Amino acid sequence: MCLVLKINLIIFTMRFPLLVLTLLISLIVLAAQGFATESMIPSSDKSQNAYRRVAPTLIRTMQKKGLSLGDPVFIRIFKQEKTLEVWIRQGLTYTLFKSYSICHHSGDIGPKIREGDKQSPEGFYTVGADQLNPNSSYHLSFNLGFPNEYDRSHNRTGSLLMIHGRCSSAGCFAMTNFRMDEIYAIVESAIIAGQSQVPVHIFPFKMTPKKMAAHRNSKWIAFWENIKEGYDYFEGHHAPPVVVVQDKRYQFITFRPLLFGGTLPPPVPRLTVATMKRSFKLQETPVPSETSPKRQHQLLAKVDRTTPSAPNLLGQGD
């Protein structure tokens, strides 16, 4: 049996030498990329000890939900609710793994404007390997990447805005050391497994119609209505949109070709809106039971069926 397999392999190699060479080169490149990615992850005794403390529990808890430590991660923060959500990808959508209480964040709802205003940011950020800090004076931390392209287009200033341990903060999100052990291990594991950027979406509050109405007179309402578009997309699809910046606004690309490593979210639900002209009057005489289905259909009011318009797909992101 082994001899037959060897002979077939030799024949295949002789018939398709270019294909075999291409496959070998691809495997070598992938292996090298994996090694390079893991070797570039900053590490310390503190981060390694934290991982050893929390990994066994994280793995068991995730397995119960059909998740794995190292799967792609998405983070949402709600300032008013003082909540940080960790979502983990399961197939083409994300599943809520755990909600963590934020021990402290400085400032009020509303975006960060300038260095020293002690305000935590709002908007759409990403965390990569070079933003992890396993030697933080706040236990463990990762940098949110403020200011992003949107912030820079509005001349917003600030630096070193983090999600970190302990329970004190000046513009950051302090989670306590134990909670940060888990969050850091989850993000670090996803990056080691190949996720280049972990999206972090930060909102002033859960952007429900009721809460938006309660803040309709805020000076930040236009900004909040813009970021609510990204909030609504994730609420409807459980898959984060691609976020770009155009004309000093966030724009949301809601589809990425699978060929380029994107994820295909579920289709946007069709919205049916029924309208009736004021001059239309329903026939007052009852419809006989023997009336044909076609005739019954003709007696019904006409409706206009529309679907949500497609978003603007232009723009360049960070």
List residues with catalytic annotation: 164, 172
| Dihedral sign (CA 93, 134, 41, 51) | negative
Q: How far is residue 120's CA from residue 110's CA, in Å, rounded to a whole number?
A: 8
Q: State how far Cα 8 lies from the chain centre.
A: 46
Q: What is the largest CA-CA distance in the chain?
A: 86
In this structure, what is the dihedral angle of CA atoms 113, 312, 79, 147, given to the nearest 10 degrees? -30
Long-range contacts of range 155-158, CB-CB < 8 Å, 24 or more positions apart?
156/111, 156/112, 156/113, 156/114, 157/113, 157/114, 157/115, 158/112, 158/114, 158/115, 158/117, 158/121
Token couple for 300: 């019904």
Q: How far is residue 179's CA from residue 192's CA, in Å, rounded to a whole number?
A: 20
Q: Is 92 left (phi over 0), alpha (psi -120 to 50) or beta?
A: alpha
Q: How far is residue 36's CA from residue 292's CA, in Å, rounded to a whole number?
A: 71
